[in-house]
């Protein structure tokens, strides 16, 4: 059965022995983050890596508040969160959906009907406000106060407190499709936060669509991305606009809602690289095998998770930017200050005695490493749908997911590895991958020692390393320009004569099968271990 809400999930963590209740008083300013960081790194490098989930029940300055952290912080808990024995099992379910067997008879067609009905049952369901726990307490207008929430400051040089695990809901002004994304939010005061919409994110594109509709003559004359999602060009772009145009832009608003403390599948769905036409609410329903229950927000025309602990409602005003950051990021470095849209909170609804959910990012491995690994395993079939020659991928946590991807392929022709590199760079959020290493299908990409051996032995650097220019992640502090820089591909596959390698390629060392079997039978008797 799917977890109904965060509390149901907390109970499951407790039952599984995966929850540690912290009853000592702990400050949300830095102290909680330090405890969560140490917990996340317990067992580093072992099969039991990742400490327990943490429920802080004595929050300094916030009597009665509770804060949940590190809920996804191990392989076992990630499986538990998505109610599976293996993340690859979910990938197999996706494969069946995207590549169903072609029915050859009337009976085969009838057998497919339950599968189609199952998919239809995953669509979100809107319930009444009376049934929605997130509406138990409602604050409007002057009663809105973000400072009443136990929001964390996680690193010493952070620009302030940040909401770090929000499900941010926006709507495409053209298609009406909802998007749920996870974007950090710096708290400025009781009613406003920053909204860290990097320019390549879906919510930023929703805002650009709203801007295009408001002032259609702007598109060729000004950097829409800078105006809507910050960056160093923002101020210059705004300066080019006339007072009349600027007033018109700033007179328009885009509605936003933020859910904090949802069931684990809904929280996880906010980070997945969803196909453009698939709503995250549907993905959450697929993962939990049960539809997400939604409810209409109080003051904005958006549907929000009905069982969330907190809902923040409000708007961003087109063209309004404010300095956000610094922020200690998942790269292990601080993301420095930049300008981003401002979120104005007009209403807060929450459950009675709400549980605040947070995470901390920093030097890996941390909680987000396990979430990223889940994305890697679950969405491998979607990569293979576009590039069927891909056998497996590995996004090592130390590569912070967008800095290094290791790919094994079934090589079929000269230059095949380079074709795969370019295909990955053309694929959604994978376009940000700074380094791609391509190996042959018999290399286990999850074994970094094996990958290192293959790569360093199989390449002639001048011949096998490819550089290209293109968009890079906004968090890449080393790129030559913000959001634009170089990327590298390494072809570590065996080279063929058609690729200019005319000497025999040496075989790798392997022992005779019969000898290995004989030693296997003797091994325990030898007393070596």
486 and 471 in contact (C-beta within 8 Å)? no
Report how far residue 517's alpha carbon sits from residue 519's, in angstroms, rounded to the nearest whole number.
Answer: 5
Report how far residue 359's alpha carbon sits from residue 36's, in angstroms, rounded to the nearest whole number.
Answer: 8
CB environment 409-440: b (16+ within 10 A), e (fewer): bebeeeebbbbbbebbbeebebbbbbebbbbb
Maximum distance among all Cα pairs of the chain, rounded to whole angstroms: 87
Distances in whole angstroms, Cα of residue 114 to Cα of each of 118, 119, 431: 6, 9, 37
Cα four-point dihedral sign 422, 423, 429, 430? negative
270 and 182 in contact (C-beta within 8 Å)? yes
Task: Classify strands 404-409 and 137-140 as parallel, antiparallel or unpaired.
Answer: unpaired
Give, for 409, the enclosing helix (H) or strand (E): strand 404-409
134 and 349 in contact (C-beta within 8 Å)? yes
Backbone angles phi, psi at 123, to 5 degrees: -65, 140
- Looking up tokens 């138990």, which residue turns up? 136
How many other C-beta atoms are found inside a 10 Å radius of the C-beta of residue 111?
12
- Residue 167's contacts (CB-CB under 8 Å, 6 or more residues apart) are 180, 181, 182, 258, 259, 260, 262, 266, 267, 270, 305, 308
- Residue 39's Cβ-count burial label (10 Å; 0-12, 13-18, 19+) is buried
CA 49 to chain centre: 20
H-assigned helices in 230-339: 234-239, 243-250, 264-269, 280-288
Cα four-point dihedral sign 33, 34, 38, 39? negative
Distances in whole angstroms, Cα of residue 293 to Cα of each of 275, 279, 298, 305, 402: 22, 14, 16, 6, 32
| Residues assigned a catalytic role | 329
Backbone angles phi, psi at 340, to 5 degrees: -140, 165
Distance, first Cα to last Cα, the chain: 43
- Looking up tokens 């598109």, which residue turns up? 219
258 and 185 in contact (C-beta within 8 Å)? yes
């Amino acid at each position: 059965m799917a977890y109904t809400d965060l509390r149901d999930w907390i109970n499951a963590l407790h039952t599984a022995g995966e929850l540690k209740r912290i009853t000592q008083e702990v400050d949300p300013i830095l102290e909680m983050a330090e405890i969560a960081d140490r917990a996340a790194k317990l067992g580093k490098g072992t099969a039991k890596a990742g400490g327990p989930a943490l429920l802080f029940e004595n929050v300094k300055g916030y009597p009665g508040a509770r804060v949940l952290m590190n809920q996804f912080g191990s392989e076992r808990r990630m499986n538990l969160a998505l109610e599976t024995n293996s993340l690859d099992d979910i990938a197999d379910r996706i494969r069946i959906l995207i590549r169903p067997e072609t029915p050859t008879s009337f009976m085969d067609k009838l057998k497919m009907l339950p599968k189609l009905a199952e998919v239809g049952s995953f669509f979100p369901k809107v319930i009444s406000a009376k049934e929605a726990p997130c509406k138990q307490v409602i604050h409007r207008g002057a009663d809105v106060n973000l400072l009443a929430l136990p929001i964390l400051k996680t690193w010493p040089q952070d620009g302030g407190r940040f909401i770090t695990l929000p499900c941010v809901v926006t709507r495409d002004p053209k298609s009406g499709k909802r998007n749920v994304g996870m974007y950090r939010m710096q708290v400025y005061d009781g009613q406003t936060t920053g909204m860290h919409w990097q320019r390549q994110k879906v919510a930023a594109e929703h805002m650009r669509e709203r801007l295009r509709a408001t002032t259609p003559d702007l598109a060729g004359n000004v950097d829409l991305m800078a105006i809507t999602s910050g960056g160093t060009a923002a101020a210059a772009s705004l300066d080019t606009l006339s007072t009349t145009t600027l007033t018109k832009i700033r007179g328009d608003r885009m509605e936003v809602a933020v859910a904090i403390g949802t069931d684990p599948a809904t929280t996880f769905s906010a980070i997945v690289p969803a196909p453009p036409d698939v709503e995250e609410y549907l993905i959450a329903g697929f993962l939990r095998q049960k539809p997400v229950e939604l409810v209409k927000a109080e003051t904005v025309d958006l549907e929000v998770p009905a069982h969330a602990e907190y809902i923040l409602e409000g708007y961003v005003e087109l063209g309004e930017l404010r300095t956000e950051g610094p922020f200690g990021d998942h790269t292990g470095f601080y993301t420095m200050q930049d300008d981003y849209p401002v979120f104005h909170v007009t209403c807060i609804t929450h459950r009675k005695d709400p549980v605040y959910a947070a995470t901390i990012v920093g030097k890996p491995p941390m909680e987000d490493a396990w979430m990223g690994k889940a994305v890697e395993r679950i969405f491998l079939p979607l990569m293979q749908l576009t590039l069927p020659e891909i056998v497996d991928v590995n996004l090592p946590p130390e590569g912070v997911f967008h800095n290094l991807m290791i790919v094994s392929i079934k090589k079929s022709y000269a230059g095949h590895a380079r074709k795969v590199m370019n295909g990955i760079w053309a694929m959604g959020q994978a376009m940000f991958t700074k380094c791609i290493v391509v190996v042959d299908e018999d290399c286990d990409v999850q074994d970094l020692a094996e990958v290192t051996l293959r790569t360093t032995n199989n390449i002639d650097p001048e011949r096998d390393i490819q550089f290209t220019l293109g968009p890079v992640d906004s968090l890449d502090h080393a790129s030559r320009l913000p959001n634009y820089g170089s990327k590298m591909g390494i072809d570590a596959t065996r080279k063929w004569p058609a690729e200019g390698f005319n000497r025999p390629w040496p075989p790798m060392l392997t022992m005779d099968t019969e000898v290995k079997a004989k030693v296997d039978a003797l091994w325990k008797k030898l007393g070596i271990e």
